[in-house]
Amino acid sequence: MHRHTSITGLTFAGLLAFAATAAGEGDLRTQAKALFGALPKDMATHPLKPEQVALGRLLFFEPRVSADGTVSCARCHQPALYGTDALVKPIGVQHRVNPRNAPTVLNAALQISQHWRGDRVSVEDQASQALTGPASYGNPSQEAAMAKLRAIPGYRELFAKAFPGQAEPITAENWGTAIGTYERTLVTPAPFDAWLAGNDGALSPSAQAGLKAFIETGCASCHNGSGVGGAVYQKFGLAEEYWKATGSREIDKGREDVTKAPADEYVFKVPSLRNVAMTPPYFHDGSVAALPQAVQIMAQVQLGKTLPDGTVKDIVAFLESLTGTLPAEFATEPVLPAAAFEAPQPQPASDAGTPAESLQR
């Protein structure tokens, strides 16, 4: 059961027992506080440097560093779509289709790791590795990406201020650090947090009933912590094969392809459910468009249960209470230093790796 261990050291089973004890007390808020905890003000592991946050915000919206000049972090993590792209699978440089659905960047740093299979250790790691991802920024090397960034005069001073004392501060590591540091500020307090903090009116009776059902049904056994998920790995399809319920076109072995451990077959990171109502479609392959259907499928394939329609409705009301306020530093685009993009021999579109048909469910 090593894969079910959360970052807090509490096991899956331990949390369930803890929740059951709390439930015995009959106080939903006490129980919820124990399971979820308070949303932090930011997701810093050390004091955030304002110059790095400000630079990272620019770089997040910067497309000129990608191989064809069309991909920034914001291409797949659009503010208008709550940090996602609403696509089944994101489309990157040269119209290449990424293998899995784009999760929101909001609250992303609360999670134990990044990407569905947890193969990015942090938001910083994700940002750095994206530079050379064939279907993300598509650069032949991190150095090639940095050469483009160095060609935009306005960045030199900004990097020097954010990373003082370095002979050449425009590096892929600093790119990752700046973007990751910015992303660590992107927390979205929601009505659920107001309710957890004592505001009784912040959750409707239906949402409160949904929270109770969410815990009692067993959803919170995996979707716990302040991210309401994101803290553990879990097999998708504990009770039955997931692809039969989701109608997935392909079977994804998940984390097994990363760790090569048979125990990790069909294992994915449990996603955070914050802002889930704003970020369809659902699951690692974007195979399900509607939230009520996603809730029902989860109960079925993870817990072997079929929920009454009213319970699904309540759980959806609870999930909607996880929709937070967009941070102003995310909703508002910064102005980037002006410079034309000098296209570095982009490949013709016909060289695209994954055909766009894989967009289809």
Residue type at 33 in one-letter notation? K
Q: Establish if 280 lies at the interface with a second copy (CB under 8 A).
A: yes
* Nearest approach, Cβ of residue 76 and a second copy (Å): 9
Give the distance from CA 231 to its chain's centroid. Answer: 12
Reading phi first (left if > 0) and then psi (alpha if -120 to 50, else beta), residue 188 is in beta
Long-range contacts of 78-84 (CB under 8 A, 24+ apart): 79/326, 79/330, 79/331, 79/333, 81/278, 81/279, 82/106, 82/275, 82/278, 82/279, 82/323, 82/326, 83/186, 83/275, 83/279, 83/330, 84/278, 84/279
Number of residues counted as binding a second copy (CB under 8 A): 60
Q: Establish if 352 lies at the interface with a second copy (CB under 8 A).
A: yes
For the chain, the farthest-separated pair of C-alpha atoms sits apart, in whole angstroms, at 66
**Contact with a second copy (CB under 8 A) among 255, 281, 295, 296:** 281
For residue 91, what are the β-bridge partners?
97
**Contact with a second copy (CB under 8 A) among 10, 18, 133, 341:** 341
Q: Establish if 191 lies at the interface with a second copy (CB under 8 A).
A: no
Q: Establish if 154 lies at the interface with a second copy (CB under 8 A).
A: no
Instruction: Supply the DSSP string of 170-228, one letter for each residue.
Output: --HHHHHHHHHHHHTT-----HHHHHHTT-GGGS-HHHHHHHHHHHHHTGGGTS-TTTT
For helices 309-320 and 291-303, give the axis angle rounded to 10 degrees: 110
* Nearest approach, Cβ of residue 149 and a second copy (Å): 13
Q: Establish if 359 lies at the interface with a second copy (CB under 8 A).
A: yes
* Nearest approach, Cβ of residue 81 and a second copy (Å): 6
Q: Establish if 284 lies at the interface with a second copy (CB under 8 A).
A: no
Q: What angle do CA 68, 79, 210 make, to 5 degrees?
A: 135
**Contact with a second copy (CB under 8 A) among 31, 52, 70, 142:** 70
The alpha carbon dihedral of 114, 120, 124, 128 has a sign of negative
* Nearest approach, Cβ of residue 335 and a second copy (Å): 6
Distance CA 151, CA 339 (A): 8
Q: Establish if 1 lies at the interface with a second copy (CB under 8 A).
A: no
Length of the chain: 361
The site map against a second copy for 300-339 (x = CB under 8 A) is --------------------------x-x--xxxxxx-xx
Stretch binding a second copy (CB under 8 A), from 17-25, 40-48, 174-182, 345-353: 345-353
Choice between 232 and 322, CB closer to a second copy: 322
* Nearest approach, Cβ of residue 354 and a second copy (Å): 9
* Nearest approach, Cβ of residue 334 and a second copy (Å): 6
**Site residues for a second copy, window 248-277 (CB under 8 A)?**
277
* Nearest approach, Cβ of residue 86 and a second copy (Å): 5
Distance CA 131, CA 354 (A): 18
* Nearest approach, Cβ of residue 129 and a second copy (Å): 22
Residue type at 43 in one-letter notation? M
Residues that bind a second copy (CB under 8 A): 58, 61-64, 68-70, 72, 74-75, 78-82, 85-88, 91, 94-96, 277-282, 286, 289-290, 326, 328, 331-336, 338-343, 345-350, 352, 355-357, 359-361
